Structure 1
């Protein structure tokens, strides 16, 4: 933890003072009000708004995300996150404005400055099928626009990819890595009864789903942590995305898995029926196809793009939905068990233990339900 950048009441005063003095990168010198938006695993976020007397400068609201976790414990470097943020169109989510990678600055800690995304985080139990489809449309736009990104990010050791150059090793490979990490760092968590009883059926379900995830073209940049708490719904019910800490190359189906479904627990997931999940995936496929046709028309040639590995270029809508849904299901299983393990590792914190119980119960119900038709 970086101390003063965490929950200290003094930090707001310090931030206000340094902005006035023009010593905060990406923020114009002005009198500002400072509001603490919240704290995640790695950052504390502060909202800066110009005070009325300073409105003549038309300083737009800015968010300063200050690091509160050691570099070795973060999923990627600050530079990697900022590169992802810099690629995000402002109408789809928070956009990078400035970066300070070292602690040798006016705030005494590394930080990223981003645009502010107004709106509210909709609790998981309040999500509707309509909102889920609106999010699918936004995610489809994101994947389409970033499909030509040159940088794959740090998920592939900083390699630079063109679309289709790298392929995913599959959900089982990622599941093995998850279990391996926990065996090395917290083996006792895997022995917890709420976990141990789930491991065998969880693995069998992944074995069934894995074939459809193997060899999927790596998209250069997905959000990677598209949970409810990272979606802000603004005017007109339009969702936009924040917190790009886990952004990098991956299977686009993962962005459709993390938002929610029938396996839920804690504040992270939208409660969506199987039909609502299927409709969400269908909305995504339709949007990607529509965007591809529009791009082809703009270029004056016949260009057909599928949903990043959902199927061949001649594959019909329903078949693309079926295969993409199966990939989503695989990533849902990997994510929910990972989160269950994480919650159980937060000993002594009642909220996390309660959320672990919810995840274990929900995941158990999913694994004992009659299986869907195996993907082809």
Structure 2
């Protein structure tokens, strides 16, 4: 793939977000890969861009690439990358759909290196991200008049369970999953009335786990991988950082007092704190998103254990431990 990128950059630099062709000393290297995309750094003529190449057919991606691309066009400067090029067809020299975004400096910090000052900086950066308000919520490319009037977390959860039952019935039929799904559903239905009072919505990142937060110069944070961005509830972005149900290296362990402090700093920095809700209301919604995300992610880990015989022993052990840990902690939280 590196050779293909170099060739494409040389023949058609604009197709990978460059203003000129690469020269001597320029670099192409793999930054990393997830389940949907591989990210390549392309440095040429003093320019640095990231080419995110799909690792699966477009129809199998969790979200359309154009959703993320459109979302990046709405992100205020200094928060995430700029969207440069979108190629949704596999009929190109790279042989796969791809997206080009500007390079964002920084590194992912493990939970143990997060300081209180960094958490505060993150809360303030989220408030900047959420500054623009919308009357309706939903996918970014959906016309505003067709978006929803409320965030229906209970309904989203029920739809998610239906998808899992249709596509991974073995996972859903595991006794502890069946029991926990019932308890999580009841919890979210009780929390729904607080969601119904949310007066307006924001552009959310939708997946602000620690690996998607880059830190530069101690307290400067930037956000990458906007695959799950949409118009939604700001409390969702607050929830995914961490809390009391955490898995290393994705979440930051936080006490109840630290979680409340995060919300207070966020609301103090927000231009729309009144529309977002009181500290207690945001806390209720944040808790609901934490439980929602942890449970559905645990189903994903269980599905990997059931459907991926190619997993290494290390991977199998990790996913087993994660599923067991999250199931136990959710049981304690909801018991």
1:167-221 deviations in Å (ceiling 9; x for gaps): 2243211211111111111122122244234234323332332210125245252
1:103-126 deviations in Å (ceiling 9; x for gaps): 222222211111111111112343
- Equivalent residue for 2:33? 39
Secondary structure of 1:91 counterpart: coil
Return the alpha-carbon distance in structure 2 between the equivalents of residues 171 and 154 of structure 1.
15
**Alignment TM-score, normalising by the size of structure 1:** 0.79
1:310-358 deviations in Å (ceiling 9; x for gaps): 1xxxxxxxxx111111111111111111001111000244132232122
Q: Verify: 1:29 aligned to 2:21, yes or no.
A: yes
CA drift of 1:307 comes to 5.0
Return the alpha-carbon distance in structure 2 between the equivalents of residues 335 and 362 of structure 1.
13
- Equivalent residue for 1:96? 83
> Which of the numbers 314, 334, 337 marks the counterpart of 2:295?
337
1:34-76 deviations in Å (ceiling 9; x for gaps): 11111112110001123xxx4xxxx321100011122222232
- For residues 1-376 of structure 1, the aligned pairs below 5 Å read 11-23=1-13, 24-27=15-18, 28-31=20-23, 32-50=26-44, 54=45, 59-144=46-131, 146-147=132-133, 154=139, 158-160=142-144, 166-217=148-199, 219-288=201-270, 292=271, 305-306=272-273, 308-310=275-277, 320-347=278-305, 348=309, 349=311, 350=316, 351-368=318-335
CA drift of 1:85 comes to 1.2
The 3 A distance-change label for structure 1 pair 257 and 84 is same
Contact 2:51 2:100 in 1 (8 A): yes
After alignment, is 257-266 or 191-200 more displaced? 191-200
After alignment, is 176-185 or 208-217 more displaced? 208-217
Return the alpha-carbon distance in structure 2 between the equivalents of residues 211 and 235 of structure 1.
41
CA drift of 1:230 comes to 0.8
Secondary structure of 1:229 counterpart: helix
Return the alpha-carbon distance in structure 1 between the equivalents of residues 16 and 4 of structure 2.
14
**Alignment TM-score, normalising by the size of structure 2:** 0.88
1:289-318 deviations in Å (ceiling 9; x for gaps): xxx3xxxxxxxxxxxx335441xxxxxxxx
RMSD: 2.3
Return the alpha-carbon distance in structure 2 between the equivalents of residues 215 and 184 of structure 1.
32
Return the alpha-carbon distance in structure 1 between the equivalents of residues 209 and 274 of structure 2.
21
Ranges in structure 2 where 5+ consecutive residues have no aligned partner: none
Contact 2:137 2:151 in 1 (8 A): no
**Count of equivalent residues:** 322
Ranges in structure 1 where 5+ consecutive residues have no aligned partner: 1-10, 293-304, 311-319, 369-376
Return the alpha-carbon distance in structure 1 between the equivalents of residues 290 and 264 of structure 2.
17
The 3 A distance-change label for structure 1 pair 60 and 201 is same
